[in-house]
Amino acid sequence: MALKRGVKVDRGYATISEDDGVNYRNISATLTEMGYKMNHSSARNYVLRSMKKFAEAYARHLDIDTRKLDMDEIVRSPDFQGVVADVLTCLETERREIRRIT
């Protein structure tokens, strides 16, 4: 998903070190250590495809026509990625609490 020549992005990348975030190089290194050879650009592409699935599912949940949205821009947004990460963290925390109780 290369940007067109001359396009400027004012939002930066969605990696936030102070919140224990990881960058695409860290992700690719971890996956490579686990036996899944991957470079940082492939890791980015996998993350963005996953984020697009979250965005499309949420838009359908709200009955929003995704054809009217620039989904690629939305999923590249660090704000959107941060919200998805927060939601997943909350769900995982709840899941662990439930498993501890039962």
Domain count along the chain: 1
In a domain, 28, yes or no: yes
Q: What is the pLDDT of residue 20?
A: 62
Question: Are 47 and 77 spatial neighbours (Cβ–Cβ below 8 Å)?
Answer: no
- The answer on pLDDT for 3 being more than 90 is no
**Domain range holding 55?**
20-101
Asked if residue 86 is part of any domain, the answer here is yes
Predicted confidence band at 22 (pLDDT cuts at 50, 70, 90)? Answer: confident
Question: pLDDT-derived band of residue 23, with 50, 70 and 90 as boundaries?
Answer: confident
For residue 50, being part of any structural domain is answered with: yes
Mean model confidence pLDDT for the chain: 83
pTM equals 0.68
Rounded average pLDDT over 74-99: 92
9 inside domain: no
Question: Tens of pLDDT along 42-58?
Answer: 999 999 999 999 999 99
